[in-house]
């Protein structure tokens, strides 16, 4: 893909950011999800070799807005989306597609029923880095795993089908932390493609932001910390375009959708990030959407 820089630069580096957050979550005594591979990715890349992988390495610990609260957000998101995928496969789905898979190790971590295939789509260089690290650890996937290097802003459905994806079988789709980085038109095209490839019984989970961030929210310490500490300008990567209403689009296409804040799941699990009503909150506009095709 044009501008493909792997995990070291640009949007690829956000995959390392999430891996570091998962590593920190993994070492919490009350972890919502554990990913023993995450810290290996962080240590293996030049860009992230000195980032923290445990809360004890963060001077302010949980009070740190970035490696504390924001990392916990990713821990909760990981758990909730693990549960989503496991629900689908326990109900009979055998095909899983991770859109913008990044350094997601679900193919290796989760207990998949026999016969599951996990397709992972991301930038070719991100997947090559991931495979290098996992091969170095002699990691073995617990499902058939098929990786596809593709630009999700362009046509990718043909490559997925050529890789063995069956549009006649129900699919569990996941776009975790992806749509925020796609231009408006690319998000609309991706939803249309998912709809076109989804047999009855398919389900999709994804994360979006409601609208663009207000000037006050753009000042949030999460964004300044991301720029300063890990060299990621999330606001630039998000772009300034108004977001499409993908949940509305899916409903119009006959899907059932439910839309949640992360805080809904904090309440459900008894831990996770809490709302910050006192100051502009970069997490307040985030929504996790669950859609199913009856």
Ligand X SMILES: C[S@@+](CC[C@H](N)C(=O)[O-])C[C@H]1O[C@@H](n2cnc3c(N)ncnc32)[C@H](O)[C@@H]1O
Site for ligand X, rule CB under 6 A? 11-12, 14-15, 18, 100-104, 122-123, 126, 151-153, 176-178, 181
Are 178 and 100 in contact, with CB atoms under 8 Å apart? yes
Nearer to ligand X, 11 or 235 (CB): 11
To 10 degrees, what angle do helices 13-26 and 221-230 make?
A: 100
Each as own residue / partner, the long-range contacts of residues 188-193 (CB below 8 Å, 24 or more positions apart, any chain) are: 188/244, 188/246, 188/249, 189/153, 190/99, 190/152, 191/244, 191/246, 191/249, 191/250, 193/156, 193/157
- Of the candidates 219, 183, 202, the one whose C-alpha atom is nearest the C-alpha of residue 257 is 202
Are 169 and 257 in contact, with CB atoms under 8 Å apart? no
Residue 38: CB minimum distance to ligand X, A: 9
Beta-bridged to residue 23, according to DSSP, are none
Residue 33: CB minimum distance to ligand X, A: 11
Nearer to ligand X, 34 or 215 (CB): 34
Query: Whole-angstrom distance between the N-terminal and C-terminal Cα of the chain?
Result: 35
- What residue has token string 């293996």? 44
Residue 14: CB minimum distance to ligand X, A: 4
Residue 114: CB minimum distance to ligand X, A: 25
Residue 15: CB minimum distance to ligand X, A: 4
Q: Give dist(CA 26, CA 20) in Å, integer.
A: 10
Nearer to ligand X, 201 or 287 (CB): 287
- Of the candidates 3, 264, 267, the one whose C-alpha atom is nearest the C-alpha of residue 126 is 3
Q: Hey, how many other C-beta atoms are within 10 angstroms of the C-beta on 231? A: 12
To 10 degrees, what angle do helices 71-90 and 13-26 make?
A: 90
Residue 73: CB minimum distance to ligand X, A: 11
Nearer to ligand X, 58 or 127 (CB): 127
Residue 42: CB minimum distance to ligand X, A: 12
Tell me the residue number closest to ligand X, measured at CB.
102
Nearer to ligand X, 46 or 114 (CB): 46
Nearer to ligand X, 12 or 273 (CB): 12
Nearer to ligand X, 12 or 141 (CB): 12
């Amino acid at each position: 893909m044009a501008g493909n820089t792997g995990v070291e630069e640009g949007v690829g580096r956000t995959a390392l950011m999430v891996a570091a957050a998962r590593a920190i979550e993994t070492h919490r005594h009350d972890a919502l999800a554990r990913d023993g591979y995450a810290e290996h990715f962080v240590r293996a890349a030049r860009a992230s070799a000195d980032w923290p992988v445990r809360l004890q390495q963060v001077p302010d610990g949980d009070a740190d807005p970035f490696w504390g609260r924001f990392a916990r957000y990713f821990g909760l998101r990981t758990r909730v989306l693990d549960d989503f995928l496991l629900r689908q496969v326990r109900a009979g789905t055998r095909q899983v597609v991770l859109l913008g898979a990044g350094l997601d190790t679900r193919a290796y971590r989760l207990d998949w029923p026999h016969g599951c295939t996990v397709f992972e789509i991301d930038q070719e260089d991100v997947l090559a880095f991931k495979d290098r690290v996992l091969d170095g650890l002699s990691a073995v996937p617990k499902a058939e795993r098929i990786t596809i290097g593709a630009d999700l802003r362009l046509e990718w459905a043909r490559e997925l089908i050529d890789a063995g994806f069956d549009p006649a079988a129900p699919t569990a789709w996941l776009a975790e932390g992806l749509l925020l980085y796609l231009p408006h038109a690319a998000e609309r095209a991706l939803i249309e493609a998912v709809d076109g490839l989804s047999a009855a019984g398919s389900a999709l989970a994804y994360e979006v932001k409601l609208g663009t961030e207000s000037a006050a929210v753009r000042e949030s310490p999460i964004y300044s910390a991301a720029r300063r500490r890990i060299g990621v300008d999330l606001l630039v990567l998000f772009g300034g375009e108004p977001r499409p209403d993908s949940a509305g689009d899916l409903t119009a296409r006959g899907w059932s959708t439910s839309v949640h804040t992360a805080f809904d799941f904090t309440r459900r699990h008894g831990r996770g990030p809490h709302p910050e009503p006192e100051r502009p909150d970069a997490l307040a506009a985030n929504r996790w959407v669950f859609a199913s095709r009856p």
